[in-house]
Amino acid sequence: MTRAFRFGVNMTAVGDRAEWIAKSRRAEELGYDVILMPDHLSMAAPFPSLMLTAGVTTRPRLGTFVLNAGFWNPTLLARDAFAVNTYTDGRLELGLGAGYVREEFEEAGLGWPSAGERVTHLIDTVHKIRTAAEKLGQSLPIMVGGNGDRVLRLAAEQADIVAFAGLKAVPDATPPLEFLTADELDERVEFVQDAAGGRDYESNLLVQNVVVTEDRRGTVDALRQRFGLAESTDFLLEVPAVLAGTYEEIAEQLRAQRDRFGISYITVLEPGFEAFGPVIPMLRE
């Protein structure tokens, strides 16, 4: 069965109270289903920001995209998450990831755990959140995001929402991230399907760029040159995490990607949330 689309916006620049309230209300007005917060030391704290959003909106759900599990003691995280879920009348969706920014771990005094240690901590966190939910009798959807085998296997087995990364880590490269190709995303989607063994889940993709233009190729080429991207224009035009074209072309791209990858939950980054807004009603079913 084909899932209906859902749309989220990941807010990256909170600003002061008035600015955050205005952006939260604008996201609701544009039709976003979920307002989300990332978890980086350079950005606002996720839970207080979401509580403010809850007080000035009524319809959107509230989410983290995604909490760095390595920053959190699982038991204390469960306490905070279920408090937010309670006080927002069950609007919270808890997104979790293993964490990937070494400098942030070190700044927080947490050292730099190995990739395996970070994933093990994520696995433990998800299990403890699930156990706490059962004890409290609460429903709290969990999203797990990542690209590696262990993280996606955890997502396939435990998460309500599997967040596929639009980027992949490239060690010792500058920048250390590259776009995932459509074929690479195909492989990751198939991996999760196999690991899930028929278990039902929702699939998410974080869109990195939204560009509304009548000249799709020319605009993408200009962006490639402006940001010094190594990828070719043809490559970027086929990347699932880049949406470029007219509103109609973007809508058609997302329909095609849902057919191909089964991805129905689309999250855009805050810089593109106004540009993407008119696409939302075009994809309502």
**pLDDT profile of the chain (285 residues), mean per 10:** 96 94 98 98 96 98 98 97 97 97 96 97 98 94 97 98 90 74 96 98 96 93 82 90 96 98 98 98 93
Q: Which pLDDT value is given to residue 228? A: 78
Q: Which pLDDT value is given to residue 173? A: 63
CATH tag, 6-208+247-282: 3.20.20.30
What lies within 8 Å, CB to CB, of 201 at 6+ separation is 155, 156, 159, 160, 161, 162, 192
Q: Which pLDDT value is given to residue 14? A: 84
In the chain, domain spans: 6-208+247-282
The two tokens of residue 60 are 């959107």
Q: Give the integer Cα–Cα distance in Å for 273 and 245.
A: 15
Q: Which pLDDT value is given to residue 176? A: 67
Q: Give the integer Cα–Cα distance in Å for 8 and 31.
A: 9
Alpha helices in the chain (DSSP H): 17-30, 46-56, 74-87, 102-107, 115-136, 149-158, 182-196, 216-226, 233-237, 247-261, 273-276, 279-282
Among 113, 115, 123, 120, smallest CA distance to 156 is for 123
Give residue 264's identity as a one-letter amino acid code. Answer: S
For the chain, the first-to-last Cα distance in angstroms comes to: 14
Q: Which pLDDT value is given to residue 120? A: 98
Q: Give the integer Cα–Cα distance in Å for 160 and 156.
A: 9
